[in-house]
Amino acid sequence: MSVLEEILAKKKAEVQERKALYSQKLLEQSIFFENRIVSLKKYLLREDKSGIIAEIKRKSPSKGVINQNVSIERISIGYMQAGASALSVLTDQTFFGGSNEDLKVARKFNFCPILRKDFIIDEYQIVEAKAIGADAILLIAAALTEREMKDLAAFAKSLGLETLMEVHNEEELEKGLNENIDLVGVNNRDLSTFEVSLNTSFELASKIPGSFIKVSESGISSPSQIVELKEAGFDGFLIGQNFMEQSRPERACAEFIEELSRLDRRAYAKS
Ligand SMILES: O=P(O)(O)OC[C@@H](O)[C@@H](O)c1c[nH]c2ccccc12
Protein backbone atom coordinates (compact mmCIF):
# COMPACT_ATOMS: atom_id res chain seq x y z
CA MET A 1 0.00 0.00 0.00
CA SER A 2 1.39 3.44 -0.89
CA VAL A 3 1.45 6.13 1.80
CA LEU A 4 -1.33 7.98 -0.02
CA GLU A 5 -3.50 4.85 -0.01
CA GLU A 6 -2.76 4.36 3.67
CA ILE A 7 -3.71 7.98 4.46
CA LEU A 8 -6.93 7.67 2.46
CA ALA A 9 -7.96 4.43 4.18
CA LYS A 10 -7.42 6.02 7.59
CA LYS A 11 -9.25 9.18 6.48
CA LYS A 12 -12.29 7.20 5.42
CA ALA A 13 -12.62 5.61 8.87
CA GLU A 14 -11.98 8.96 10.56
CA VAL A 15 -14.72 10.72 8.58
CA GLN A 16 -17.22 8.03 9.61
CA GLU A 17 -16.26 8.52 13.26
CA ARG A 18 -16.62 12.29 13.04
CA LYS A 19 -19.97 12.04 11.31
CA ALA A 20 -21.25 9.91 14.20
CA LEU A 21 -19.90 12.40 16.73
CA TYR A 22 -20.93 15.76 15.18
CA SER A 23 -23.76 15.86 12.72
CA GLN A 24 -23.52 18.10 9.66
CA LYS A 25 -26.38 20.11 11.15
CA LEU A 26 -24.32 20.83 14.23
CA LEU A 27 -21.34 21.95 12.14
CA GLU A 28 -23.60 24.33 10.24
CA GLN A 29 -24.36 26.14 13.49
CA SER A 30 -20.75 27.28 13.80
CA ILE A 31 -20.37 31.08 13.91
CA PHE A 32 -18.02 30.81 10.92
CA PHE A 33 -20.93 29.84 8.70
CA GLU A 34 -21.99 33.50 8.74
CA ASN A 35 -18.47 34.76 7.91
CA ARG A 36 -17.56 36.08 4.51
CA ILE A 37 -14.90 34.10 2.69
CA VAL A 38 -11.56 35.83 2.11
CA SER A 39 -10.63 35.01 -1.47
CA LEU A 40 -7.31 33.17 -1.86
CA LYS A 41 -7.46 33.88 -5.58
CA LYS A 42 -7.68 37.63 -5.02
CA TYR A 43 -4.97 37.70 -2.36
CA LEU A 44 -2.52 35.84 -4.59
CA LEU A 45 -2.97 38.45 -7.29
CA ARG A 46 -2.42 41.43 -4.98
CA GLU A 47 0.62 43.46 -6.00
CA ASP A 48 1.51 44.36 -2.42
CA LYS A 49 1.89 40.72 -1.37
CA SER A 50 4.56 38.09 -1.94
CA GLY A 51 2.34 35.33 -3.33
CA ILE A 52 3.61 33.03 -0.60
CA ILE A 53 1.16 30.69 1.09
CA ALA A 54 2.95 29.98 4.36
CA GLU A 55 2.18 26.58 5.83
CA ILE A 56 1.89 25.32 9.38
CA LYS A 57 3.02 21.68 9.34
CA ARG A 58 4.23 19.98 12.52
CA LYS A 59 5.30 16.69 10.93
CA SER A 60 4.98 14.79 7.66
CA PRO A 61 5.34 11.23 6.37
CA SER A 62 8.37 12.26 4.30
CA LYS A 63 10.23 14.19 6.97
CA GLY A 64 8.97 12.87 10.32
CA VAL A 65 8.75 15.45 13.11
CA ILE A 66 9.49 18.96 11.81
CA ASN A 67 8.40 21.21 14.67
CA GLN A 68 5.94 19.56 16.99
CA ASN A 69 5.25 22.07 19.74
CA VAL A 70 4.76 25.36 18.00
CA SER A 71 2.56 28.29 18.93
CA ILE A 72 0.01 28.60 16.14
CA GLU A 73 -0.84 32.09 17.32
CA ARG A 74 2.76 33.31 17.09
CA ILE A 75 3.61 31.60 13.79
CA SER A 76 0.41 32.53 11.97
CA ILE A 77 0.57 36.20 12.96
CA GLY A 78 4.32 36.25 12.25
CA TYR A 79 3.85 34.74 8.78
CA MET A 80 1.28 37.39 7.90
CA GLN A 81 3.36 40.24 9.29
CA ALA A 82 6.28 38.96 7.23
CA GLY A 83 4.23 39.56 4.07
CA ALA A 84 2.78 36.13 3.28
CA SER A 85 -0.37 36.26 1.12
CA ALA A 86 -2.20 33.46 2.89
CA LEU A 87 -1.91 30.63 5.40
CA SER A 88 -2.12 26.89 4.86
CA VAL A 89 -2.89 24.81 7.94
CA LEU A 90 -2.55 21.02 8.06
CA THR A 91 -5.54 19.58 9.91
CA ASP A 92 -4.69 15.88 9.52
CA GLN A 93 -3.66 14.51 12.90
CA THR A 94 -2.34 11.02 12.30
CA PHE A 95 0.20 11.76 9.57
CA PHE A 96 0.83 15.50 9.91
CA GLY A 97 0.26 16.19 13.62
CA GLY A 98 -2.27 18.94 12.89
CA SER A 99 -5.86 19.44 14.04
CA ASN A 100 -9.02 21.42 13.43
CA GLU A 101 -8.05 23.34 16.55
CA ASP A 102 -4.86 24.57 14.81
CA LEU A 103 -6.93 26.07 12.01
CA LYS A 104 -9.41 27.62 14.40
CA VAL A 105 -6.57 29.31 16.28
CA ALA A 106 -5.09 30.63 13.03
CA ARG A 107 -8.57 31.94 12.09
CA LYS A 108 -9.01 33.66 15.42
CA PHE A 109 -5.89 35.77 14.97
CA ASN A 110 -5.83 36.49 11.21
CA PHE A 111 -7.98 38.08 8.51
CA CYS A 112 -6.14 36.52 5.56
CA PRO A 113 -7.28 33.59 3.39
CA ILE A 114 -6.73 30.22 5.10
CA LEU A 115 -6.37 26.99 3.17
CA ARG A 116 -7.48 23.82 4.92
CA LYS A 117 -4.78 21.30 4.11
CA ASP A 118 -6.18 17.80 4.44
CA PHE A 119 -7.19 14.78 2.41
CA ILE A 120 -10.75 15.57 1.43
CA ILE A 121 -12.84 12.65 0.18
CA ASP A 122 -16.30 13.51 1.51
CA GLU A 123 -18.67 16.52 1.50
CA TYR A 124 -18.77 16.32 5.28
CA GLN A 125 -15.13 17.50 5.44
CA ILE A 126 -16.02 20.54 3.33
CA VAL A 127 -18.80 21.54 5.72
CA GLU A 128 -16.28 21.00 8.51
CA ALA A 129 -13.72 23.20 6.69
CA LYS A 130 -16.22 26.05 6.67
CA ALA A 131 -17.22 25.37 10.27
CA ILE A 132 -13.63 25.81 11.49
CA GLY A 133 -13.10 29.02 9.53
CA ALA A 134 -11.29 27.97 6.33
CA ASP A 135 -11.67 29.98 3.11
CA ALA A 136 -10.33 27.41 0.68
CA ILE A 137 -9.91 23.65 0.48
CA LEU A 138 -7.42 21.35 -1.20
CA LEU A 139 -8.65 18.59 -3.50
CA ILE A 140 -5.95 16.13 -4.53
CA ALA A 141 -6.43 14.71 -8.03
CA ALA A 142 -4.45 11.56 -7.18
CA ALA A 143 -6.95 10.80 -4.41
CA LEU A 144 -10.21 11.30 -6.33
CA THR A 145 -12.04 10.12 -9.43
CA GLU A 146 -13.04 12.63 -12.10
CA ARG A 147 -16.63 12.51 -10.83
CA GLU A 148 -15.63 13.02 -7.19
CA MET A 149 -13.42 15.98 -8.10
CA LYS A 150 -16.30 17.60 -9.96
CA ASP A 151 -18.89 16.98 -7.25
CA LEU A 152 -16.69 18.02 -4.32
CA ALA A 153 -15.55 21.23 -6.08
CA ALA A 154 -19.17 22.09 -6.90
CA PHE A 155 -20.17 21.45 -3.30
CA ALA A 156 -17.34 23.70 -2.02
CA LYS A 157 -18.51 26.43 -4.38
CA SER A 158 -22.09 26.09 -3.12
CA LEU A 159 -20.76 26.94 0.38
CA GLY A 160 -18.73 29.85 -0.98
CA LEU A 161 -15.36 28.14 -0.47
CA GLU A 162 -12.60 28.20 -3.10
CA THR A 163 -10.93 25.04 -4.35
CA LEU A 164 -7.25 24.47 -5.00
CA MET A 165 -6.89 21.34 -7.10
CA GLU A 166 -3.55 19.59 -6.64
CA VAL A 167 -1.92 17.70 -9.52
CA HIS A 168 1.42 16.06 -10.08
CA ASN A 169 1.27 15.23 -13.80
CA GLU A 170 -0.53 16.03 -17.03
CA GLU A 171 -2.90 13.09 -16.77
CA GLU A 172 -4.20 14.25 -13.38
CA LEU A 173 -4.55 17.78 -14.73
CA GLU A 174 -6.65 16.68 -17.69
CA LYS A 175 -8.76 14.37 -15.60
CA GLY A 176 -9.41 16.84 -12.79
CA LEU A 177 -9.97 20.23 -14.40
CA ASN A 178 -13.54 21.49 -14.32
CA GLU A 179 -15.36 24.81 -14.08
CA ASN A 180 -15.68 24.70 -10.29
CA ILE A 181 -11.92 24.68 -9.68
CA ASP A 182 -10.48 28.09 -8.75
CA LEU A 183 -6.75 27.42 -8.48
CA VAL A 184 -4.44 24.70 -9.75
CA GLY A 185 -1.54 23.61 -7.56
CA VAL A 186 1.35 21.64 -8.99
CA ASN A 187 2.83 19.48 -6.25
CA ASN A 188 6.55 19.17 -6.82
CA ARG A 189 6.56 16.24 -4.40
CA ASP A 190 5.53 12.87 -5.77
CA LEU A 191 3.17 11.54 -3.10
CA SER A 192 4.11 7.91 -3.79
CA THR A 193 7.92 8.25 -3.78
CA PHE A 194 8.34 11.61 -1.91
CA GLU A 195 10.81 12.69 -4.56
CA VAL A 196 10.81 16.47 -5.03
CA SER A 197 11.62 18.33 -8.24
CA LEU A 198 10.66 21.87 -9.22
CA ASN A 199 10.80 20.70 -12.82
CA THR A 200 7.30 19.31 -12.25
CA SER A 201 6.10 22.92 -11.99
CA PHE A 202 8.14 24.15 -14.94
CA GLU A 203 6.88 21.33 -17.14
CA LEU A 204 3.20 21.65 -16.24
CA ALA A 205 2.96 25.48 -16.16
CA SER A 206 2.14 25.94 -19.83
CA LYS A 207 -0.42 23.09 -19.76
CA ILE A 208 -2.66 24.86 -17.22
CA PRO A 209 -5.28 27.05 -18.95
CA GLY A 210 -4.81 30.79 -18.31
CA SER A 211 -8.11 31.18 -16.49
CA PHE A 212 -6.78 29.30 -13.43
CA ILE A 213 -4.49 30.80 -10.82
CA LYS A 214 -1.31 28.69 -10.68
CA VAL A 215 0.34 27.63 -7.44
CA SER A 216 3.64 25.79 -7.13
CA GLU A 217 3.71 23.52 -4.07
CA SER A 218 6.48 21.84 -2.05
CA GLY A 219 10.25 21.79 -2.04
CA ILE A 220 10.69 25.57 -2.42
CA SER A 221 13.75 26.61 -0.44
CA SER A 222 15.12 29.83 -1.95
CA PRO A 223 13.78 33.20 -3.12
CA SER A 224 15.55 32.83 -6.48
CA GLN A 225 13.38 29.75 -7.20
CA ILE A 226 10.32 31.95 -6.75
CA VAL A 227 11.64 34.46 -9.27
CA GLU A 228 11.96 31.60 -11.79
CA LEU A 229 8.53 30.19 -10.94
CA LYS A 230 6.99 33.65 -11.42
CA GLU A 231 8.60 33.86 -14.85
CA ALA A 232 7.05 30.48 -15.66
CA GLY A 233 3.61 31.94 -14.82
CA PHE A 234 3.00 30.96 -11.20
CA ASP A 235 1.10 33.34 -8.89
CA GLY A 236 1.29 31.38 -5.63
CA PHE A 237 4.04 29.52 -3.81
CA LEU A 238 3.26 27.07 -1.03
CA ILE A 239 6.09 26.76 1.47
CA GLY A 240 6.06 24.60 4.60
CA GLN A 241 9.16 22.70 5.61
CA ASN A 242 11.67 25.42 4.73
CA PHE A 243 10.10 27.68 7.37
CA MET A 244 8.85 25.06 9.83
CA GLU A 245 12.21 23.34 10.30
CA GLN A 246 13.64 26.54 11.82
CA SER A 247 13.13 27.20 15.53
CA ARG A 248 11.37 30.49 14.64
CA PRO A 249 9.46 29.73 11.42
CA GLU A 250 7.96 33.23 11.26
CA ARG A 251 11.43 34.79 11.35
CA ALA A 252 12.64 32.46 8.58
CA CYS A 253 9.61 33.56 6.54
CA ALA A 254 10.36 37.26 7.11
CA GLU A 255 13.99 36.85 6.02
CA PHE A 256 12.90 34.87 2.97
CA ILE A 257 10.40 37.54 1.88
CA GLU A 258 12.90 40.36 2.45
CA GLU A 259 15.37 38.62 0.19
CA LEU A 260 12.61 37.99 -2.36
CA SER A 261 11.69 41.71 -2.46
CA ARG A 262 15.36 42.57 -3.02
CA LEU A 263 15.48 40.15 -5.98
CA ASP A 264 12.15 41.47 -7.33
CA ARG A 265 13.40 45.08 -7.16
CA ARG A 266 16.55 44.08 -9.00
CA ALA A 267 14.58 42.29 -11.70
CA TYR A 268 12.27 45.31 -12.00
CA ALA A 269 15.20 47.74 -12.32
CA LYS A 270 16.66 45.62 -15.12
CA SER A 271 13.44 45.46 -17.13
O1 LIG B 1 6.91 21.52 3.12
P2 LIG B 1 7.04 21.86 1.70
O3 LIG B 1 7.97 20.98 0.94
O4 LIG B 1 7.36 23.34 1.50
O5 LIG B 1 5.58 21.63 1.05
C6 LIG B 1 4.46 22.36 1.46
C7 LIG B 1 3.17 21.74 0.86
O8 LIG B 1 3.24 21.89 -0.52
C9 LIG B 1 3.03 20.28 1.27
O10 LIG B 1 2.90 20.23 2.64
C11 LIG B 1 1.84 19.57 0.61
C12 LIG B 1 1.48 19.67 -0.68
N13 LIG B 1 0.39 18.91 -0.95
C14 LIG B 1 0.02 18.29 0.19
C15 LIG B 1 -1.07 17.44 0.44
C16 LIG B 1 -1.25 16.99 1.72
C17 LIG B 1 -0.36 17.32 2.75
C18 LIG B 1 0.71 18.19 2.50
C19 LIG B 1 0.90 18.68 1.22
Tell me the ipTM for this assembly.
0.98
67 is catalytic: no
Local structure of 90: helix, strand or coil: strand
Tell which residue, 182, 179, 228, 183, has the closest CA to residue 201: 228
Q: What is the pLDDT of residues 177-189, one digit of tens each?
A: 999 999 999 999 9
144: left (phi over 0), alpha (psi -120 to 50) or beta: beta
Segments of the chain scoring below 50 in pLDDT? none
Local structure of 222: helix, strand or coil: coil
Q: Which atom of ligand 1 is nearest to the CA of 118?
A: 16
CA distances, 50 to each of 186, 240, 263 (Å): 18, 15, 12
Among candidate residues 88, 180, 187, 201, the one labeled active-site is 187
Pick from 217, 241, 243, 256 the residue to mutate for probing ligand 1's pocket: most ligand atoms within 8 Å of its CB. Answer: 217
In the chain, the domains with their CATH numbers are 3-270 (3.20.20.70)
CA distances, 222 to each of 227, 228, 243, 256 (Å): 9, 10, 11, 7
Report pTM: 0.97
Among candidate residues 50, 88, 218, 242, the one labeled active-site is 218
Among candidate residues 100, 104, 110, 117, the one labeled active-site is 117
19 is catalytic: no
Q: Give the contacts of 97 (CB within 8 A, at least 6 positions apart).
A: 57, 58, 59, 65, 68, 90
Q: What is the pLDDT of residues 149-192, one digit of tens each?
A: 999 999 999 999 999 999 999 999 999 999 999 999 999 999 88
Strands 64-65 and 59-60: antiparallel
Instruction: Report CA(271)–ligand 1 centroid distance (Å).
Output: 33
Residues framing ligand 1 (Cβ under 6 A): 55, 57, 117, 166, 187, 217-220, 238-242
